[in-house]
Structure formats: structure tokens, C-alpha cells
């Protein structure tokens, strides 16, 4: 992980910050060619754009994360094959035991040792993830990698008005580890420090003196993973100044329980959840 542009420190008088996780075309339902559409994402991101426009000068810092992948990576269909050499379909879950049993294998046999190490570490991690083979999405440089048009327009207008720069953080670029959270890869790799903790991002969010609003896609995966990594680094007082914009994020189909669990964990930490309209009222009242 590394920022796509130099970090611009928030102005000392900052009051409201917006973190938008992966507001990209490939996640948007209703956008032709989207490879991993999340139902509701298009409307979510239209509300995000409206929030940026309506908050105006009260919004003093914006950070956008961008899922940024190669076409060939450990969570892609192109990486895997079945026991008989056949293709592996998207939304297939692969476990270490299945690899040991020969049900699945990397197409590049030289990566067999890494795959076993990786799946073992992934399954033993605190989140106890299982590897999911996702449709190929957010390949860097493709239209699907681009920011949703309404959000992009709102961000450009905000930069022009505020004379500040939206910080864009790329995540998921290493082909041999997954990365849902913008804070760190699911299995940081010893030979690549960029897969470890993104301290600049963590410091930027955790040290912010005002309210932080969080939006983006998808609430069941990348929003949840990013938000929880950041919340773990915060004091209880700081968590009370974090707000989830619940109508500006949606879960991947079939993972609605993951979203519900995320909202519950956040609430247990003292994080508020509200609509974009309610959040704008809070901003105006502040």
C-alpha cells in the first residue's frame, strides 16, 4: 500500500473528515461493464457525492481508498485450477485443506509452497478468513478502477473550492496477498513492507481532531475491514467521533450478515451510524 499522491496534512482548523472506501465503477450496480456490482452501490455513491457538495467548507479533509489490482492475483480465477486442470469459477472459496487434498492448485506450480503458507496464515489470523476467488475487478488502469463519476466530480469541485487535495490511497496491488483493508494486507509479506501497516493513513485518520465520516463499498468487506483496523487504533473518545454513513454503503450479495456484524461491532465501540441527511444536520449544527 502506498498513497497515489504526496500526503497533504489536514489544515489545523479541520473539523470534518470523510473517508470513502473504494467508490469505484466495478462495484456499482447500474453501470455497464461493472464486474463485481454491489446492489445499491450506485445510489450509495450518489448520496456520497451529495454529502460532499452539501457539506461544503465544513468538510476539511477527504481520503479515498482505491482497490488496485493486477488481472492475475491470488484471489483471481486466473490464478487457480481444479484437480483436473479446469478453471475455477468466481465466488469459489478455497481452503488450505482443499489445496492439501489436491482439489485446487495454483496454475503456476512454483507458487505451491507460497499458497500453503498463505492459506495457513490467512486461516490462522484473528479474522479467520477463507480465501475467496472474486471476479476480476478494479484492475488498475481500466474503467472499472475509476471513481464513480458523480463522486469524482464532487471531489474535483471540493478540491477547487477548498484549495486542498483529496488523498487517494491504493490498496491490493501485491498479487500474492489479499487486501480488504486499506490499513494492511490480510497476510503481510515479510519481503514487501508495503503490505504492512500503512502508518501514514492510520495517523491521518486517528489523529484527526474533528468528526470522521465513513462511506464506500462494500460494507461487508472493504469498508468493514478498513474501519475496524482504524477503530482498533483509536481511543474510546476518538471512536465517539466516528460516524458510519449507513445509506452510503451496501454489502456484497450473500454477505449481508457480515455487514450486520460490522455495524454491531462498531456500535459496541461507541461508533455512531446515521444517514447522510442526518450527518449533514450534525455537520451544520457543529
111 phi/psi in degrees, rounded to 5: -95, 5
Question: Residue holding cell 484527526?
Answer: 208
The residues, any chain, with a CB within 8 Å of residue 125's CB and separated by 6 or more, are 186, 187
User: Digits of tens for pLDDT over the chain (286 positions)?
Assistant: 334 433 334 333 448 999 999 999 999 998 999 999 999 999 999 999 999 999 999 999 999 999 999 999 999 999 999 999 999 999 999 999 999 999 999 999 999 999 999 999 999 998 888 999 999 999 999 999 999 999 999 999 999 999 999 999 999 999 999 999 999 999 999 999 999 999 999 999 999 999 999 999 999 999 999 999 999 999 999 999 999 999 999 999 999 999 999 999 999 999 999 999 999 999 988 7
SS3 state at 229: helix
Termini Cα distance of the chain = 34
Cis omega (within 30 of 0) for bond into 218:
yes
Q: What domains sit in the chain, N to C, each tagged with a CATH number?
A: 2-71+137-285 (3.40.50.850), 77-133 (no CATH)
Give the model's pLDDT for residue 2: 38
C-alpha cell at 8: 497533504
Print burial letters for 16-38: b (CB count within 10 Å at least 16), e (below 16): bbbbbbbbbbbbbeebeebbbbb
Q: Which residues contact 257 (CB under 8 A, 6 or more apart)?
A: none
- Predicted TM-score (pTM) of the model is 0.93
Amino acid at each position: 500500500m502506498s498513497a497515489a499522491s504526496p500526503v497533504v496534512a489536514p489544515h489545523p482548523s479541520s473539523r470534518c473528515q470523510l473517508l470513502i472506501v473504494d467508490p469505484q465503477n466495478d462495484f456499482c450496480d447500474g453501470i455497464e461493464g461493472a464486474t463485481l456490482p454491489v446492489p445499491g452501490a450506485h445510489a450509495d455513491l450518489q448520496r456520497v457525492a451529495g454529502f460532499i457538495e452539501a457539506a461544503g467548507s465544513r468538510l476539511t479533509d477527504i481520503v479515498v481508498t482505491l482497490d488496485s489490482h493486477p488481472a492475475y492475483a491470488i484471489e483471481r480465477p486466473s490464478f487457480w485450477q481444479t484437480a483436473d486442470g479446469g478453471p475455477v469459477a468466481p465466488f469459489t472459496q478455497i481452503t488450505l485443506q482443499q489445496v492439501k487434498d489436491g482439489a485446487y492448485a495454483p496454475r503456476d506450480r512454483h507458487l505451491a509452497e507460497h499458497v500453503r503458507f498463505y492459506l495457513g496464515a490467512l486461516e490462522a489470523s484473528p479474522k479467520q478468513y477463507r480465501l475467496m476467488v472474486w471476479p476480476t475487478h478494479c484492475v488498475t488502469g481500466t474503467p472499472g478502477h475509476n471513481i464513480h463519476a458523480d463522486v469524482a466530480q464532487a471531489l474535483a469541485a471540493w478540491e477547487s473550492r477548498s484549495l486542498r487535495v483529496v488523498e487517494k490511497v491504493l490498496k491490493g496491488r501485491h498479487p500474492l496477498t489479499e487486501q480488504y483493508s486499506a490499513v494492511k494486507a490480510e497476510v503481510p509479506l515479510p519481503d514487501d513492507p508495503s503490505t504492512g501497516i500503512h502508518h501514514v493513513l492510520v495517523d491521518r485518520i486517528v489523529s484527526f481532531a474533528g468528526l470522521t465520516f465513513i462511506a464506500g463499498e462494500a460494507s461487508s468487506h472493504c469498508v468493514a475491514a478498513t474501519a475496524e483496523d482504524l477503530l482498533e487504533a483509536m481511543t474510546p473518545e476518538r471512536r465517539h467521533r466516528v460516524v458510519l454513513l449507513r445509506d452510503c454503503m451496501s454489502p456484497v450479495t450473500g454477505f449481508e450478515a457480515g455487514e450486520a456484524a460490522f455495524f454491531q461491532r462498531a456500535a459496541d465501540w461507541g461508533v455512531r451510524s446515521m444517514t447522510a441527511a442526518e450527518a449533514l444536520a450534525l455537520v451544520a449544527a457543529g
